[in-house]
Structure 1
């Protein structure tokens, strides 16, 4: 191994994000040179802007475009759900990987064939015009992560109420206040409808088909007249 290769190997082992010269890969994240994840992009060149990049995680047959948040909660997050709801509107859910944090769609990891052990962490965020509280937390709970793959219920109440980490702007009662699970009208809902909530009090809700449309963030009831933002991110 030559001196340059040894230097690169040493820096990678030290988990540094500072590279120079030939060690850097400026085209990483393009269609011809997809990264294995948003987090992988930061390992080879940091800082990088939050933007759409090409990635191909283990198990994925082809590369695909994903929006990567490179700035919040340590960066390296792939956008999985993004529902920006304008108060009073009620549109059907859209199944597609969102490439804009202010978009209106979601996707499951199994849709790309991504290996079951790839996802290590999820980040949940929502806010509403109905109040000033914000839900913003991360979790490494494997039961919750399984739902990000196939959209099925793998979790219990305890998976939500413990073991998570809040971000600096988190001020919501959920997920700690969770007492109910999985009120749904979807065939494979994942985190749409009401995956975790406190009945009649605090809800996470992405449910345009329910009661003329319900979009709720740490509140209740039927707040489709309020404007909301729901986002879920995944990181390896």
Structure 2
């Protein structure tokens, strides 16, 4: 007799449909492709690192410019003797060639014979280099006429040399020399003292043919803003007026002289002074 084996089934009740967890279906917007612009907007903004601030160069004189760039030509440049501020720029004529260069012009008087114009003492500007030709009346061209006063020269601290130049239609000699005499430099800056010692403390330039300052035996003292113009140095003569460096000096503020003495203004003269 065949036996019929019945399997035993255990019925496990299923949870109600509303309690079932449905599989997660992503939102259509989430599945949509992200545009490049939106992707960039989603990223944090990139901030480039700040470049280090570049130091601004405020040269005090022409020598500072020459040291910064030895190839600079002679020209007019902005210098800052009155302070490291763009608003305090001073136009300066720079001689970058003579005796190694780096010279700043502080006095320029190209005087025409038979005229006696007033001098100009500059407090916050410098005269610019004008014509090299004798006989031009640069008193009519204000940018070329004048000299730095003591106050401005004190601002040009650090210079260690003076260079004197002059010529006249009275003679063919040329005065052109430099000096590092500390007393003369102090007198030029402070207006006190004199250039009495430069006759033994000067170096002639290659074109120098004048008798002064080697022959000098006199110099004016304590002439303040006119130290460089008022009979700055000279030689006493027996039968003629003293041989002088004079720019509208005594007597009667009418002597324009370069390596001679006439006590008048009847010859063309050209006077210049540089510092370095």
TM bin (shorter chain): 0.7 to 0.9
For residues 1-236 of structure 1, the aligned pairs below 5 Å read 33-57=57-81, 62-96=88-122, 97-102=126-131, 103-108=144-149, 110-111=151-152, 113-114=154-155, 116=157, 118-155=158-195, 157=196, 159-182=197-220, 188-199=225-236, 200-207=241-248, 210-211=251-252, 213-235=254-276
Paired with 1:180 and 1:60, the residues of 2 have a C-alpha distance of 40
Runs of 4+ in 1 over 6 A off after TM superposition: 58-61
Q: Does structure 1 retain, via aligned residues, the 8 Å contact 2:153–2:188?
A: no
> For the Cα contact (< 8 Å) 2:93–2:128, is it kept in 1?
yes
Partner Cα distance (1:88, 1:56) in 2: 37
Change (3 A) 1:232 1:101: farther
Q: Which residue of 2 aligns with 1:29?
A: none
Cα deviation 1:14-51 (Å, max 9, x = unaligned): xxxxxxxxxxxxxxxxxx74323211212222332222
Give, in angstroms, the shift of residue 161 of structure 1: 1.4
In 1, are the aligned partners of 2:191 and 2:225 still within 8 Å (CA)?
A: yes
Instruction: Please identify which structure carries the higher strand content.
Output: 1
Counterparts of 2:84 and 2:183, CA distance in 1: 22
Cα displacement (A) at 1:119? 1.1
Unaligned 5+ residue runs, structure 1? 1-31
Which structure has more relative contact order (CA 8 Å, sep 6+)? It is 1
Structure 2: runs of 5+ lacking an equivalent: 1-55, 132-143
Q: 1:114 to 1:209 in 2, by over 3 A?
A: same
Provide, for residues 107-146 of structure 1, a one-character-per-residue CA deviation record: whole Å limited to 9, x for no partner.
1353265265x01100000000111101111001111011
Instruction: Indicate how the Cα distance of structure 1 residues 223 and 168 shifts in structure 2: closer, same or farther if over 3 A, else same.
Output: farther
Residue 123 of structure 1 aligns to a residue whose secondary structure is: strand
Change in CA separation of 1:222 and 1:154 when aligned onto 2, cut-off 3 Å: closer
Is this contact kept in 2: 1:183–1:193, CA < 8 A?
A: no
Query: Which entry has the higher C-alpha Rg, 1 or 2?
Result: 2
Shift of 1:205: 0.6
Alpha-carbon RMSD across the aligned residues, in angstroms, is 2.6
Q: Is the contact made by 1:150 and 1:190 (CA closer than 8 Å) also made in structure 2?
A: no
The whole-number CA distance in structure 2 between the counterparts of 1:180 and 1:93 is 23
How far apart, CA to CA, are the structure 1 residues paired with 2:64 and 2:224?
A: 33
Deviations 1:140-196 (A, max 9, x none): 1111011221223244x3x12112100000000101111111189x66322112011
